[in-house]
Chains A and B, each alone.
Chain A
């Protein structure tokens, strides 16, 4: 099976712009979670989608949003970018049951100038 894929792998934006990141989960996986990784805050949970519904949400401002499509692919959007949004954004997929193993993609490195 193909692994989790994320596009684009690298992105450079300027403050105030918006960005959309894409994640394609492993075939058959219905849960997609997003994480932000920064040197200062480490790995932080953003949100999880399961069967097109947001099932869990982390403590991030409303500028961070996401969605999931019927084929389980997911996108996350960040509006009005700030310098502090520069990070590695990781997507993980799983079957959705519990306990579960999450399979991570390679990440999208976002740089905000």
Chain B
């Protein structure tokens, strides 16, 4: 079952604009991660934020986490056509081992 929802389900922007995706989850977490998937291929890890962190940056990516609202957002600044992909948040409940629960994903299309 899905941990939560991501919105929007789809997002279309122009190159150079910023893209914001939101993720909501249902249970307590140890950390939250964001992954990118290009057209039905494997997932690529983007960033991990721990439950005691509120914000994290990596290059053009900025992730926020609000554990009181059980939500996270991913901001991609100055988007490029190569950013076109599906983006998923994934939560780790910290129950031991590697078990991620993925959100429903946001399909981002960056147009030239």
Interface residues of A (CB under 8 A from B): 4, 31, 33, 35, 41-45, 48, 50, 55-56, 58-59, 88, 90, 92, 94, 96, 98-107, 109
Contacts and interface: CB of A to CB of B under 8 A. Distances in A.
* Majority SS at the chain A contact face: strand
Interface residues of B, number: 29
A73 B55 CA distance: 36
25 contacts: A31-B97, A33-B99, A33-B100, A35-B102, A42-B2, A43-B88, A43-B102, A45-B100, A48-B97, A50-B97, A55-B97, A56-B96, A59-B1, A94-B98, A98-B30, A99-B30, A99-B92, A101-B33, A101-B48, A102-B33, A102-B45, A106-B41, A106-B42, A107-B40, A109-B40
A105 B42 contact: yes
Contact of B97 (A42, A56, A107): A56
B98 A100 contact: yes
B98 to A, nearest CB: 5
Given A43-B90, A50-B97, 10 more contacts: A33-B99, A43-B105, A48-B99, A55-B96, A56-B98, A88-B40, A98-B92, A99-B30, A106-B41, A109-B40
